[in-house]
Amino acid sequence: MLNKRATLGVQVLTIIASAPSDKTITANSLASATGVSLSYIEGILSDARGFRLIQSIRGPGGGYQSVASTRDLSVWDALECFNPPTKSSHNAHSSPEWRSTNLIADKSFQFEKEFLQKFPISHLVPEWIESGSLKQTKSMAMSFKQLPKKMKPIAPNSVFDLSNFLNLQVT
């Protein structure tokens, strides 16, 4: 149940859910915080959006916000959206050893599921989030970056002004 993608997905959801409700977290900042490529993070974000755990905000100051609070979201809910459902193949002619092993695996899965359903993501926030480690964007449209200073070009205006530009004498 706990594969690398699911573990990273829980980490990403924890980072997003820990942000203040008026702030968004960009995919670039998630990629740099987790040390994973941007395309892999975008795939995880797509899965989380599909399960309506997060929402995306477009435009300047856009990013991702959590839909549910960290207290309401269990670790199991997060893991469930990153793991495809597995079907156990029961064979009618299987050996008793296989059946007992399968029974132990099923009981272990049920125990893991019950435990993680009672464990909210809010308990994981202090382990991964360091204050100031993420660049949070403002969700206001007025937070554009500054424009570069206007520079006067150092070139002639036209071909006819080239001699003046190069300080040449016309004879």
Is 171 among the domain residues? no
Q: What is the DSSP letter of 157?
A: S
Mapped onto helix, strand or coil, the DSSP state of residue 64 is: strand
CATH number of the domain that 133 lies in? 1.10.10.10
Edge-to-edge strands, sheet with 63-66: 54-57, 63-66, 23-25, 136-138
Taking the C-alpha atoms of residue 17 and residue 69, their distance in angstroms, rounded to an integer, is: 7
- pLDDT tens string, the chain, 171 residues long: the values are 578 888 888 888 888 877 777 788 889 989 988 888 999 999 999 888 888 888 888 888 788 888 876 667 777 877 887 776 665 555 555 788 888 888 888 888 888 888 888 877 777 765 444 444 445 455 455 566 777 777 776 777 777 777 777 775 555
Cut 0.85: pTM above it: no
Is 170 among the domain residues? no
Q: What ranges in the chain are assigned the alpha helix state H?
A: 4-18, 27-34, 38-50, 75-82, 96-117, 125-128, 162-165
Q: Which amino acid makes up residue 66?
A: S
Is 72 among the domain residues? yes
Is 101 among the domain residues? yes
Q: Which domain holds residue 55?
A: 4-85+94-165
Is 78 among the domain residues? yes
| Nearest residue to 18 (alpha-carbon basis) of 79, 60, 70, 58 | 70
Work out how many domains the chain is built from and give that number. Answer: 1
- The structure tokens listed for 21 are 């409700």
Element (H, E) at 138: strand 136-138
Is 73 among the domain residues? yes
